Amino acid sequence: MQSIKLPRKPPSSPHPILNLSFRIFFSAAALFAVVTMLLWAFVFTGHTDIDAQVLNPLYWHGHEMVYGYALAVVAGFLLTAVKTWTGVMMPHGYKLLGIFICWLLARLSWLGFGLGMTLIGDSISWLYIAAIFDVVFVASMAYVVCRAVWQVKQYKQMGILAKLALLFFGNGLCYWGIINADMNTTKIGIYLGFYLIIGLVLTIGRRVVPFFIERGLSMGIENSEPVKLRNSNTQDIASLVFFFAFFISDVFYPNKYLLTVTALGVAVINIVRLIGWYHHGIWQKPLLWSLYIAFLGMCLSFLLYALQPWLGYPHSIAMHGLAIAGVGMMTLAMMTRVSLGHTGRSIHQPPKTVSVMYGLMVLVFISRVLLPLVDMSHYLMWIMMAQSAWIVCFVLFCISYLPMLARPRPDGLFG
């Protein structure tokens, strides 16, 4: 007798924002980008009661931009992309909510510490609570990605899994340094996380940026042949080797000659890559030129790293350039595009505010990185300008994108 296969029940969730991870994590990341930058403006100017003996306020800011904002975007992107890559359904509904709540409780704990609030007699208790939820958040995210990759034997994704494991380790170093009053260990943990995020951006960007440009131009330019962009495995390997050597030099083995050679190597290789990706048609489409400008900003930042030991400007200028371009601009460009495509909307008709958002992020780069190079006498003013542009940028994202992220797809599909 032939058995009859009953159709599988379609996936469902209690609210559209819990359908796929990009919805809730992109929404939360954008809101958090506004809140944490507002609080950082007060911390930076000394208007909060943060305990600087427990944690250097600069490291508070660095940790939350890397392990708070950036890792939320990574979670939203990866837990959505892995479903596309492997065909395995990722957490949704209450399971996704559980992963998200761990991220949220960790962030609220760090905000409590940043405000100088006391818990059980001191403020460091907030960071003990944050450590627990951060560990569960990263571990659960890595587990579901590993399970999907293992299930379909896509071992080529193991590099991404390795980076997630190292992010887990880097965050653990931050907390270990805090617990043991060793700010140098905390600093290493923050820089490890930051450069791992940049490594992820370079790895994922190498895949998706040329793909998005090819798709965006081939479908959007009339009477033209399909666009094919140049890429090279040799460039991929060389970029990875130079970047790894740069990371070791900048964090563990400070040598100005090695730093200059490795940073210059990363910059030149990726400039050559950008030349191969260039097409004049990108300037007609904000969702494409934003990706290109983000990569260009990263290349410029690596050049700043290369020149810094010889010209003497602060190391933080080059670091912030890489952070703004590689984390700020790149994540913004990815979120604005992915949010359209995965909610069933046309990527060729983005909200009119996207160009303004990208322009504001360029202003963040100019005011935080380039203007201090030529005028350090107004350093505080340039920083406040950058902070303001960042906040307005993500407020616009929230206004333009949160409604679509919280609503069902127009075509009625789950996603």
Over range 247-257, report the average pLDDT.
92
133-180 pLDDT, tens digit per residue, is 999 999 999 899 888 888 887 777 777 788 888 999 999 999 999 999
pLDDT at 9: 66
CATH number for position 23: 1.20.210.10
CA 114 to chain centre: 22
The tens digit of pLDDT for each residue in 313-371 reads 999 999 999 999 999 999 999 999 999 988 988 888 899 999 999 999 999 999 999 99
The answer to the question of residue 11 being in a domain is no
119 domain-assigned: yes
Domains in the chain, number:
1
How far is C-alpha 138 from the geometric centre of its chain's CA atoms?
15
Residues of the domain holding 213: 16-405
Tokens coding 125: 């208790």
139: in domain: yes
Tell me 11's DSSP state.
P
Please, which pLDDT band fits residue 5 given cuts at 50, 70 and 90? Answer: very low
Is 261 among the domain residues? yes
The set of residues, in sequence order, having a beta carbon less than 8 Å from that of 349 and lying 6+ positions away, is none
Residue 202 lies in a domain: yes
Contact between 332 and 397 under an 8 Å Cβ cutoff? The reply is yes
Domain-embedded: residue 207: yes
Q: What is the pLDDT of residues 102-146, one digit of tens each?
A: 999 999 999 999 998 877 778 889 999 999 999 999 999 989 988
Q: What is the spatial distance between Cα 267 and Cα 263, in angstroms, rounded to a whole number?
A: 6
Lowest mean pLDDT among 42-51, 57-66, 91-100, 214-223: 214-223
Banded pLDDT at 280 (limits 50, 70, 90): confident
Contacts 24+ apart (CB under 8 A), 321-325: 321/297, 321/365, 321/368, 321/369, 322/198, 322/298, 323/65, 323/194, 324/297, 324/361, 324/364, 324/365, 324/368, 324/369, 324/386, 325/293, 325/294, 325/295, 325/296, 325/297, 325/298, 325/300, 325/301, 325/365
C-alpha to C-alpha distance for 375 and 47, rounded to whole angstroms: 26
Q: Under a CB-based contact definition with an 8 Å cutoff, are residues 227 and 210 in contact? A: no
Residue-level pLDDT at 404: 95
1 found inside a domain = no
**CA pseudo-torsion sign 351, 354, 357, 359:** negative
* Prediction pTM value: 0.92
Roughly how many angstroms between the first and final C-alpha of the chain, as a whole number?
37
For residue 265, being part of any structural domain is answered with yes
Total Cβ atoms within 10 A of residue 104 = 17
The pLDDT-based confidence of 8 (bands split at 50, 70, 90) is low
Looking at every residue in the chain, the average pLDDT score rounds to 90
